[in-house]
């Protein structure tokens, strides 16, 4: 007998990682759990997974299931670069702010970061770090990494991704996409997954599943085999090779079958839109004094500012994170800007994330708590 150690009715808006696994994912694990299958990826589920990914991203793609997003990003970037290679990325990119130096200390890569107003790189911004080729004193900028959707909840359009890829390739650089929320991007853009990945010129994708209903598991998807080398060995070297890989593969198959990935992403996006709309109405009617929005809501996150005392009152009912991108932090665990600076704490910027299982009642209750706290403040 398993004892429940948490309140199943508790809700939070801190991260889409807080949500449990989708029941269709749990069912897929149960189905895969019977009998014996060959370990380390020679199982029937992983074989089928390659066919599923080819349907979404095109023939010839290579798929490598891994345990988590950091592992996916580090292993993918290692496969794209020589030891002297460097990666141009936004300063707010997850690989720079939330992976504890893993790309540099484990991957042996140099990150060349650029400040952006909305988390999105452009060809001009890339050029701020894309220089110095042939200079033995400078790490060689040989890859660009973009996040879709970004850490600030914004979304690259198909044309924006294509422009980055064309520019990077013209400079001899490869393009990596951190797709932790790639499903949310497709849902927002209303296009197939391959439209802003394979067809737009992305070379290697870190495909996210955990934030979209998986129990655990992501995948490195090599879209351009000429841009990646050694993934078979690097995955093991980076401790990302699952012995019972069928359980990751079965989840990814379920996610990409019958549009579960799209249904879940559309729902979490819609809940964020509802949250934003209801709060905008509250601001317009004077019921939410001191509340403002800092980024466009283009996925499942809402970024806003509000007085600190109001935020603390809301946290008594719902957990969420402060946000301090200019100080180099992101998902802060405490309201005192533990990884940010005083300037960011004073700014009062917060992030509210919706999940595949967020309900309209959750949104209504959260909005009511925010409005009440602002009225008291």
For residue 238, give the CATH number of its domain. Answer: 3.40.640.10
pLDDT computed for residue 328 by the predictor: 38
- Is it the case that residue 206 has pLDDT exceeding 80? yes
Task: Identify the domain containing residue 183 by its residue range.
Answer: 23-259
What is the mean predicted confidence (pLDDT) over 86-109?
A: 96
Within this chain, do residues 141 and 90 fall inside the same structural domain, yes or no?
yes
Task: Provide the CATH number for the domain around residue 286.
Answer: 3.90.1150.10
- Assess whether 207 and 269 both reside in one domain: no
Render pLDDT for 240-267 as a digit per residue (tens, 0 to 9).
999 999 999 999 999 999 999 999 999 9
Q: Which of 66-75, 178-187, 331-340, 365-374 has the lowest mean pLDDT?
A: 331-340
Q: How confident is the model at residue 79 (pLDDT cuts 50, 70, 90)?
A: very high
Mean pLDDT for the chain?
Answer: 94
Distance between alpha carbon 327 and the CA centroid of its chain, in Å? Answer: 20
Residues 254, 267, single domain; the answer is: no
Residues 199 and 94 in one domain: yes
**C-beta separation of 266 from 93 below 8 A:** no
2 inside domain: no
- Mean pLDDT, residues 213-218 taken together: 97
* Pair (211, 85) in one structural domain: yes
| Per-residue confidence (pLDDT) for residue 348, from 0 to 100 | 84
Tell me how many domains the chain contains.
2
Q: In what order do the strands lie in the sheet with 321-322?
A: 292-293, 301-305, 349-353, 321-322
Do 215 and 272 reside in the same domain of the chain? no
Phi, psi (deg, nearest 5) at residue 347:
-65, -35
Listed residues 259, 289, 308: the one ending a domain? 259
CA 119/CA 54 separation, integer angstroms: 29
Q: Do 247 and 303 share a domain, yes or no?
A: no
Distances (CA, A) of 74 to 100, 282, 320: 12, 43, 27
The 10s digit of each residue's pLDDT in 219-237 is 999 999 999 999 999 999 9
Whether 249 and 312 map to the same domain: the answer is no
Tell me whether residue 239 is in a domain.
yes
Q: Which pLDDT score, from 0 to 100, does residue 317 have? A: 96
What is the C-alpha to C-alpha distance for residues 367 and 362, in angstroms, rounded to an integer?
Answer: 9
Res 333 pLDDT > 50: no
Q: d(Cα 209, Cα 216) in Å, to the nearest integer?
A: 7
Q: Are residues 271 and 297 in the same domain?
A: yes
User: Which pair of structure tokens corresponds to residue 242?
Assistant: 């699952």
Residues 6+ apart with CB under 8 A from 246: 32, 37, 43, 44, 45, 46
Look at the alpha carbons of 247, 252, 258, 262 in this order and tell me if their dihedral is positive or negative: positive
> Which residues are bridge partners to 175 per DSSP?
144
Q: Is the residue at 158 inside a domain? A: yes
pLDDT one-digit tens code per residue, 280-316:
999 999 999 999 999 999 999 999 999 999 999 999 9
- Say if 343 falls within a structural domain: yes
pLDDT in tens, 12-27: 999 999 999 999 999 9
């Amino acid at each position: 007998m398993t004892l429940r150690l948490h309140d199943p009715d508790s809700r939070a808006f801190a991260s889409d990682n807080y949500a449990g696994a989708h029941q269709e994912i749990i069912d897929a694990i149960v189905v895969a759990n019977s009998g014996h299958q060959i370990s380390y990826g020679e199982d029937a589920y992983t074989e089928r997974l390659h066919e599923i990914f080819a349907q979404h991203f095109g023939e010839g793609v290579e798929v490598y299931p891994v345990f988590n997003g950091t592992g996916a990003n580090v292993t993918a970037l290692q496969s794209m670069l020589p030891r002297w290679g460097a990666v141009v990325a936004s300063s707010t990119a997850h690989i720079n702010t939330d992976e504890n130096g893993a790309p540099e200390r484990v991957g042996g890569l140099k990150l060349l970061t650029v400040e952006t107003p909305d988390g999105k790189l452009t060809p001009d911004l890339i050029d701020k770090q894309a220089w110095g080729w042939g200079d033995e004193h400078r790490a060689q900028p040989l890859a660009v990494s973009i996040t879709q959707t970004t850490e600030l909840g914004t979304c690259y359009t198909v044309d924006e991704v294509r422009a980055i890829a064309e520019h990077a390739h013209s400079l001899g650089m490869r393009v990596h996409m951190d797709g932790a929320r790639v499903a949310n991007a497709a849902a927002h853009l209303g296009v197939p997954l391959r439209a802003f990945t394979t067809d737009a010129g992305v070379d290697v994708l870190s495909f996210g599943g955990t934030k979209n209903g998986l129990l655990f598991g992501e995948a490195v998807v090599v879209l351009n085999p000429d841009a990646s080398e050694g993934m078979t060995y690097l995955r093991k070297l980076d401790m990302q090779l699952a012995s019972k890989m069928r359980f990751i593969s079965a989840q990814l198959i379920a996610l990409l079958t019958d549009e579960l990935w799209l249904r879940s992403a559309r729902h979490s996006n819609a809940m964020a839109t509802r949250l934003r709309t209801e709060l905008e109405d509250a601001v317009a009617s004077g019921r939410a004094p001191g509340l403002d929005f800092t980024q466009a809501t283009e996925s499942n996150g809402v970024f806003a500012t509000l007085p600190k005392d109001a935020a603390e009152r809301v946290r008594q009912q719902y957990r969420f994170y402060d946000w301090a991108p200019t100080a180099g932090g992101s998902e802060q665990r405490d309201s005192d800007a533990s990884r940010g600076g005083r300037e960011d704490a004073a700014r009062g910027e917060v992030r509210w994330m919706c999940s595949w299982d967020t309900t309209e009642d959750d949104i209504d209750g959260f909005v009511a708590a925010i409005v009440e706290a602002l009225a008291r403040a």
